[in-house]
Each structure stands twice: as C-alpha cells, then as structure tokens.
Amino acid sequence: MNLWQGIEPSHLISLSILVPFIGALLVIATGKIPNLREAITLTTAVVLFSIVLAITDYTLQGTELKLNVIDIFPGLGINFVVEPLGVLFALVASFLWIITSIYAIGYMRGHNEENQTRFFCCFALAISSVMAICFSGNLLSLFIFYEVLTLSTYPLVTHAGNDAAKQGGRTYLGILLSTSIAFLLFAVLGTYSITGTLDFQAGGIFDENDDKTILGVLLVLFCYGIGKAAIMPFHRWLPAAMVAPTPVSALLHAVAVVKAGVFSILKVVIYIFGLDQLKELNTTDIMLYIGAATILISSCIAMTKDNLKARLAYSTVSQLSYIVVGALLASSVAAAGAALHIATHAVGKITLFFCAGAIMVASHKKNISDMVGLGRKMPITMIAFTIGAISIIGLPPMAGTWSKWYLTIGALEADKLIIVAVLMISSLLNIAYLLPIPIKAFFNSRPEGQEAKPWSWAETKEAPLPILIALCITSVGCLVIFFYPQPLIDLINLIPGVSTHINGEG
Amino acid sequence: MLEQHLAVLPIILPLIAAPIALILGRSLLSWGFATLISGLSCFVSWQLLVAALSEGVLSYAVGGWPAPWGIELRVDAANAFVLLAVSAISTLVLIYSKDSIEKEIEKSKHTLFYTAHLLCLAGLTGILITGDAFNLFVFLEISSLATYTLVSLGSDRRCLTAAFRYLVMGTIGATFILIGVGLLYMKTGTLNMLDLASRIHFYESSRTINTGLAFIMVGVSIKLALFPLHMWLPPAYTHAPSAVTAFLASTATKVAVYVMIRFIFTIFGADHVFNEMGMDLILMALAIVAIFKCSYMATVQSNVKTVLAYSSVAQIGYMILGVSLVSVTGLMAGLIHIFNHALMKGALFMAVGAVFYRVGSVDIKAFRGLGKQMPLTMAAFTIAGLSIIGVPLTVGFVSKWYLVTGALEQNNWMIAALVLVGSLLAVVYIGRILEAAYFQKLPEDTDPSTVKEVPWLMLAPMWALVIANIYFGIDTSITTEAASSAAEWLFQNNNVQEVSQ
C-alpha cells in the first residue's frame, strides 16, 4: 500500500522523522483547544503509519532508500539507510502509536491529568526520535537519536511531578544517560578507532584480524551501554519509569523505548559484529548467560510484585532479554526469532498495559490483590488481558507463539540446550505470574452467605470507550499475527544473514 | 593602509578606548562605546582569521622596528582562532552587562567596569598575538591587573578577599613567568619567540634553559588554574559580578592555556618538553586528577557559581589532557575545547547572572521553581548544561569525541575510559541544579510576580551563545578546520615527531 508514490523515495525517511516532529509543534500551537490537539495527534499518527507502509513497500520491492543529512565529523555524520529490521520496528512503533493515541485520549481525560499538551508534545517527539533510530545508517546517528529519545521521554516519566515521579525520573535519566555515555559512546568510539567507519554493513565491519579480546570487550560495552535493553544489573530504570502515566508505560516502556534498546543490540550484532564474527568472541557466551539469568531472575521478581504495573515492568525486563539472548545465540534462526519477538511482545505487552490503565481509570485499582472478582465489572478488559497474557506466555493461538518457536529452534541450532531449558522454565514462570490475575478476576469464590447471582451487563463498569477500542484492537492483533505472520516473516528474511529457515536454507 | 595594520588593531582598539570609556563618565555612554569597540575588534579578528587561514602567518613589526629587535606581532591559524573566540565573547558579555551590572555593581563604578573590561580585553588579545616573550608577560600583567579590579567590583564584600587571593596567586604566577623568561634571555640573548626557538635548540641540555622551562610551566599553570594550582579560581569566580565571571571563565583561563601551548610548541619545542623532559606524563596525570577531583567538588557545592567554577577547573583538565596526548588529534581536541568551553561556560554564567538579577542569590536553593518563572533563562541553562555533559548535537560532544579519538589513536584505552567516566560527574552537578529549577516549587515567601524573565538585552547574548552551542555541535566544519589546521601548523612548525605507540 503506497499513498506516497509521488514523492522521491528517500524523502520518505525525512518525512517519517519530520511528520511526528511537526505534529509535536502543532500540538503546542493548538494546546488551548484539546479536541483539535487530539485530532492533530491522531492525524499525525495515521499519516506517519502510511509513510512507514510506503517505506515497507519499497523495502519489500528491494529498493534501497538512503539519505545523508549532515557530516558532523569529516566523513561521518547523520545519515539514514532503510533496512528490513528497522522497517519492522518502525511498523510496530508507528502502528501502535495510532492505537496508543486513541487510548491516551481516553486515559488522560478519564484521569483528569494535568499538562496534557506537554504530554502529547513529548510523546510525538519521542516517536520522531524512534523513527530516526529505526532508519539510522550508522552508529553515530543511532547513538545521537538514542540520547534524544532518553531526553524526550524524561518529561513523560516525571509527568506527575510528585516525589515518586521525581525519584523515578532520577533513576531513569541517571541509568540511561550514564550507561550510554560511559559504555555506549566508548564502544562507538572504540569501534571507530579500530575500523575507521561506523556504517552498518551486512556481515559486520570488523576485520578477521582484529584483536578478538578487544572485540569481546566492545561487545560487553555495547550490551551494557545500550541500557534501554535492560540487561541486569542495569534494569532498574524500567520499573522506575512506571511512575509515568499508563499510555507512556504502554507505548514507550513496553514498545518504543525498550524496543529501541533491543533493536540497537540486534543492529550492532547483525550489522557491526556480524553473526559469524560473534561466534568467535569469548564474551558472547558470558553475555548470553547474563541475558538468560535476567530472564529468570526478573520473572521471579515479577511474581513478588503486587502492583500490576510493577509486575508488568519486570515481565518486560524478562521478555527483553529473550531478544538479547536471541541476538547473542549467533544463529540465524534465533536472530529471526528475536526480531519477530520485537513485534509479538509489543502487541502482547501493550495490551496488558492498556488493561492495567483501564482498570486504574475505571476502578482505581493498582494492586493485583484488589482485583478479585473484577471480571464481573470489567469483562472486556479482563478478556483482553487474558489474550495478552497468553501471547506473552507464548501459547497458541496468540502471536507470542511464533517468536518463542523460532527462539527455541535457534537455541537448538546453536546447540545451547541450557537456553532451551531457560526458555521453557520462563514460560512456566510467565504462567505463574500472569494467569492468576484473570483467574482471580473471573473465578473467585463469592463471599460467605452471598447468593450466586447471574452476571448481567448492568453491573459492568468499563473504562471510557477510546480505551476499550484500543485494547480490543491490540488483543485482536495478537490473534491476527498468529494466523497471519507471513508479512513480518518475509520482512525478517530480508535481513542479511538472518533467516527463519533452519541452517539458513531457503 | 588599514589592511596593513590589521594585526595591531585588536590590541590598540580596546587599549585606546579604555581611558576614553572612563572619560565618557556616563554609564550608558561608556557601555555603548565599549560594546562598539569590542564589536569592532571582533570584526577585525574575523578578518585576521580568514587571512591567516588563507595566507598562513601574518607578521607585523610594532613601530616599524623589525624583529628580533623590535616587538613582533604574529597572527597564525592557532591564535587567530582563539582571538576570534575571545573578542566575540567579550562583545556578547558587554551587551549582557548593561542590565546585569545594574544589580551587582554600584552605579558610580559602572564606567570603571567598562574601562577595566576593555583593558582586560586589550591584555588578552595582546597575549594572543604577540611574538615576543617579554611582551607576552607585559600583556599578561595588563590583563591580570584589570581582572583583579573587575573581581573586586562585586557588591558582596567577600569579593575583596577573593580578589586579594587572586592577586597574590596571580602575581606569583606572573613572577614565575618573568623569572623563566629572564633565564631564557640570559642564555640566548633574545626575546623574540621565533628567535628564541631557533637558539634554544643549541642549549637544550643546559640547566638554565630547563630551569626557565620549569618556572614558565609552573607560572602558566597558576594562570590557567591547573590542578593543584587552581585554589584562587573558585572564590574569584564565585564572588565576582556575574558579567565578569562570564567573561573570565570563557576567556582568561583559555588564553593561559594558549600561552602554555605556545611556549611548549613554538618556543621550547614539543620534542624537548615531552620526549626529553617527560612533561606529558606530569600534565596528563594532573589533568586526570583535575577532571575527577574538581568535578567531584562541583557536585557538593551549594553555590551555583562555585559549582560552575569547579567545573571550569575540571574542563581545563580536558584541554590540558588533549595537549598532553602529543598528537595532532589531541592538540586539536584541546584547541576545539578552548573554543567550545567558552561557548558553554559563557552561556551558563550568563544564565546564572540572570537568576541573580531576579532572585538576588545564586545559591542552589534560589533556583527552586525557576523553570516555570524564567523559562527562557532556564532553557538556556539546560542546553548549555547538556553541552557540558557532552550530549550529542552540542559542542561538548564534539570536544569529547576528538579527545577520546585522540586517546584511542594511541591505544590509550585507559585515558579514553577516564574521560567518559569523568563526564558522568557533570551529569550529577548539572542535574542537581536542573532538578531544583524544574521539580521544586518556588519558595512560599517569594512573590511569583517579581521573578520573571530578565530584559532581552541579557537574554539575547545568552541565547546567541546557546545557539552557537548547538550550531557548532552540528556543523563542525568551521571549528574543526580551524583547530586542525592550527594543530597541524603547531606540529609541523617545529618538526616534532608525533608520539605513537
């Protein structure tokens, strides 16, 4: 689908970054008229999605889109190159932005939040930088927009302005900024000093003869420098960011920001190191097991959390490490699974967050222990929650099945049985911490002495309509991707060196 | 005819204008006059930089006496670059000071302020373009004496002790430089820098020359506030009027760094200073300690001006670190940072001065709630602060990039790591202030209507610097070209081999 045929293909890249940016400016300009402001947000989101669709079209046709913006250093600067992995991430982020905008309108008004103009403005800015991250053609651009994303989301995290928000914001900015300056920038500069280039290239940019020890150190620096991937012990910022309003947690801290992290790791692994080179580094396995440990430990922590958003946050930490593990298995199938997990986890987790927000708006409940019997009051929300939860666990017929499938095959292909075991145990843990919530909501025994009465629509008290629409769309999305994953898989198979076919055949 | 004399104008203009500014008597008159003169010398500096980049060295014999007997002024890529930065900052600060000094300096002393400022500018430009070692000392004293006056003009009585302390330390530094230059003269019989350079070569192993080198290096280190000789700087910057601090922080110490570079590269020869005397290690160690110790000190201060003062000492560490790498990239990083740091600190101190203008205090507590009350000032502070931290798309990032690249070129991963970790401390000290401004409420006893944006004459120069922070952070072609040609010129000119490991 291409509505933008009249436009020079490479200009689509600048459009995809400029459209949300201009959207942000218009949001400020129309701040006094909320309806117009929200209309602008929605229009911008839809226009952006159509642009990304057009870019997808070109990518599937094999047209390469490139754009060189400016050279900051001689021969090195901000440039954009469209490649399939970035397109996948851009598709996910821009599509879910539309849904989240619908949701946010319902949520922010339902919750009577203050400073809504600032909120929608920063939101659009964050999306703008996410688009720039998606299409970055070299590590410098990626690093720059990674930082811009951190800074533009900071006002969203501290939106409430109270002590908890301040404390959360401090942790958020502290960890993300310091890891990126101390480790990521160091890794970028180290890479530059070894190779003399920072361009993403198929098969990596390092030479066969480069010192493996130094490359190993660089890999560790990259993994921890990209703090947004939330590998333990640098995961604290993500639970801290949960003080933000729920739409932020939903889109940014389940999709855009955290996925920008794991996306960067995949980019570095595929286009800077190259999967073949990665196999030969000593530290790959170390980071792989740290990732595996993150999966299990954060699942265990999630179980102890009674606050629903906190539980979901730790669940996200755990799921992000699926992608990290997939990338570090250095197998083409695992990398495909990791890329697919960006999309499948996104729809699943955003559904869960939407439900958490809906519960907060409609019944002002934050803690899981208070949600007993909530299925009667909020049946639609709780059904959507169940769907999202099953998708995260990775059971058919939900989207999460496929990514877990490919990750497991990848682990087998790489001959790492222990990772297979970790993935399986993690699925069990997911069941243990996610499913009790809908079970409590639906199948709770009624209090002593109370008559069993048949459920009727009259007793429902659902969240406002925009919220319901949003969470229905994403939960249907979980189902759709299960039955119709082919477009995503086609896109993933275009990534050089990555393939859903075992042993790279196909 | 004027073109011929272009090189002398940046010194002569402010020097002649200084007494006139005093005679004009009226605050507003002398403000306009001083700003005009400063703007003129900024324009001349631009012309000089263009000429130096295209033609190489411009030499000017003062009074028509040829070197080595007469005093020679030499403009090359290295000093023209710093010259432009200094005169541009001076102009911006003068524009800013009209309103700023209203609140900080007694009305009767306003003309004195402009006079001292112009004298200081004359001294600084003199240091930059003179080709004579003794003449350099003279200009150093002119600028220093003017600086002591400027610091002592503050309305806070503590500025007097600060100025006195600065006077004592500064005089020791100047005396050391004088002794050093004297020793060189004793052995070589000349004071012209180029002449010195060609003769010193024969006496390199002589103890007199090495003693001279030691005196000069220590003297200059006091002037540029290299750790541990920096103790005069924090009180002076804290208690001086804001306009003075903005000017000094972004020019005076930078010029002293330039003097050090000039002595090392042009007079003694980098080969002798670094390879034979091993000073690169001393400088590197001190620079690293400066970065960490003073950045840490900056995180625990409660007065925002002191915070920024300690930050300055730390940033000087970065410049010296660049020099101590003994490579074109390292020196270039040092030179670029001289320029870039001037942009950041100028903007930061101007923003702090704006806060003083409205709130009457620069304690970190005074910043509470200003994010809402003074949005433009605090936005300027935020952007310049991000630049100090080294966030991409600001000049701070460019400096850091070259410095780390320079270290990695020599496989010095340790230094590269230390530079990056050191910049994390900047996150802390800038973050504390921003948190007070944006997340704390205006104190109950303050009337919100009195705390509003400052006059546009203060905002305009502040934002000019902020925009420069971003512009030169994205389009680095001008700064990079100037700094790299300056660095290459300094290296080639005395045929030093770069250190490579």
Residue range B15-56, pLDDT digits in tens: 998 888 888 878 888 888 889 999 999 999 888 888 887 877
- Name the residue with higher pLDDT: B222 or B195: B222
- Distance CA(A156)–CA(A166), nearest Å, equals 11
| Rg, chain B, Cα only | 21
Q: Who's near A39: CB < 8 A, 6+ residues apart? A: none
- In a mutational test of the A interface, the residue from B398, B419, B429, B476 whose CB has the highest number of chain A CBs within 10 Å is B476
Tell me whether strands A66-73 and A76-81 are parallel, antiparallel or unpaired: antiparallel
Write down the residue that tokens 């919220």 correspond to: A467
Q: Is the Cβ pair A70, B439 closer than 8 Å? A: no
Cα(A219)–Cα(A206) distance, integer angstroms: 12
The minimum CA-CA distance between B432 and chain A, rounded to whole Å, is 10
Q: Do B439 and A147 touch (CB under 8 A)?
A: no
Residues B413, A148: C-beta atoms closer than 8 Å? no
**Minimum-distance CB partner of A143 among B392, B416, B475:** B392
Nearest CA in chain A to B389: A181
Q: Are B476 and A70 a contacting pair at CB < 8 A?
A: no
pLDDT band at B497 (very low <50, low <70, confident <90, very high): very low
B324 CA to chain A: closest CA distance, Å? 19
B165-188 pLDDT tens trace: 999 999 999 999 999 999 989 888
Residues 6 or more apart in contact with residue B54 via CB below 8 angstroms: none
Give how far A206 is from chain B: nearest CA, Å.
Answer: 16
CB A235 within 8 A of CB A294: yes
CB proximity list for A458: less than 8 A, separation 6 or greater: none
Confidence at residue B494, expressed as pLDDT on a 0 to 100 scale? 54
* d(C-alpha B466, C-alpha B381), whole Å: 8
Tell me whether residues B405 and A189 touch, CB distance under 8 A.
yes
Q: Specify the pLDDT at position B216.
A: 92
Confidence (pTM)? 0.89
Residues 6+ apart with CB under 8 A from B228: B286, B289
pLDDT digits (tens, 9 = 90+) for B392-428: 889 989 999 999 999 988 888 888 888 888 888 888 8
Residue B2 has pLDDT above 80, yes or no: no
Shortest Cα distance from B480 to chain A (angstroms)?
8
Q: Which residue, among B468, B469, B455, B467, has the nearest Cα to B95 in the 3D structure?
A: B455
Which residue out of A143, A175, A185 would a mutagenesis test of the B interface target, given it has the greatest number of B Cβ atoms within 10 Å?
A: A185
Nearest-angstrom CA–CA distance, B317 and B336:
14
Determine, for residues B480 and A173 on separate chains, whether the beta-carbon distance falls below 8 Å.
Answer: no
Over residues B248-260, mean pLDDT: 89
Please report, rounded to a whole number, the percentage of residues in chain B having pLDDT higher than 90. Answer: 30
Which residue in A437, A400, A422 sits closest to A303, CA to CA?
A437
Tally Cβ neighbours within 10 Å of residue B281: 11
Whether residues B393 and A148 touch (CB distance < 8 A) is answered with yes
| A357 CB neighbour count, 10 Å cutoff | 29
A186 and B401 within 8 Å at the Cβ level: the answer is: no
3-state helix/strand/coil string of A204-263: CCCCCCCCHHHHHHHHHHHHHHCHHHCCCCCCCHHHHHHHCCHHHHHHHHHHHHHHHHHH
Cβ distance of B416 and A190 shorter than 8 Å: yes
Instruction: Kindly give the confidence (pLDDT) of every residue in chain A, 506 residues in length, as a single tens digit, with 9 standing for 90 and above.
Output: 567 777 788 888 888 999 999 999 998 888 788 888 888 889 999 999 999 998 888 888 888 888 888 888 887 888 899 999 999 999 999 999 999 888 888 888 777 777 788 888 888 999 999 999 999 989 999 999 999 999 888 888 888 778 888 888 888 888 998 899 889 999 999 999 888 888 998 888 888 778 888 899 999 999 999 988 888 888 888 888 888 888 888 877 778 889 999 999 999 999 998 888 888 888 888 999 999 999 999 999 999 988 888 899 999 999 999 999 999 988 889 999 999 999 999 999 999 998 988 888 888 888 888 888 888 888 888 899 999 999 999 888 888 888 999 999 999 988 889 999 999 999 999 999 999 888 888 887 666 666 667 777 777 778 788 888 888 999 998 889 889 888 888 888 888 888 887 755 54
Q: Among partner residues B473, B474, B480, which is closest to A74 by beta-carbon distance?
A: B480
Band of the pLDDT at B328, cuts 50, 70, 90?
A: confident
B interface with A, Cβ–Cβ below 8 Å: 386, 389-393, 398, 400-401, 404-405, 408-409, 413, 416-417, 420-421, 423-424, 427, 431, 435, 439, 473-477, 480
Which residues from B are below 8 Å from A190, CB to CB? 408, 413, 416
CB pairs under 8 A between A and B: 66
Task: Centre a 10 Å sphere on the Cβ of residue A66 and count the other Cβ atoms it contains.
Answer: 13
What is the helix, strand, coil percentage profile of chain B, to 5?
Answer: 80, 5, 20
Q: pLDDT band for position B108 (50/70/90)? A: confident
Angle between helix A400-413 and A308-328 (nearest 10): 40
Is the Cβ pair A181, B392 closer than 8 Å?
Answer: no
Closest Cβ opposite residue B423 in set A70, A74, A181: A181
What is the least distance, in Å, from the CA of A426 to any CA of chain B?
36
Contacts of B326 (CB under 8 A, 6+ apart): B270, B274, B280, B498, B499
Question: Coil, helix or strand for A408?
Answer: helix
Residues A174, B476: C-beta atoms closer than 8 Å? no
Average pLDDT over residues B295-305: 91
Torsion angle, alpha carbons of A44, A49, A52, A53, to 10: -140
Distance from CA of A106 to the nearest CA of B (A): 27
Which ranges constitute the DSSP H helices of B56-109? Answer: 77-104
Would you give the distance in Å from CA B440 to the centre of its chain? 33
Beta-carbon neighbour count of residue B414 at 10 Å?
Answer: 10
The answer to whether the CB of A10 falls within 8 A of the CB of A65 is: yes
Instruction: Decide if A190 and B439 are in contact by the 8 Å CB cutoff.
Output: no
Higher pLDDT, B225 or B451: B225
Per-residue burial over A202-235, b if 16 or more Cβ lie within 10 Å, else e, is: eebbbeeeeeeebbbbbbbbbbbbbbbbbbbebb
Element (H, E) at B153: none
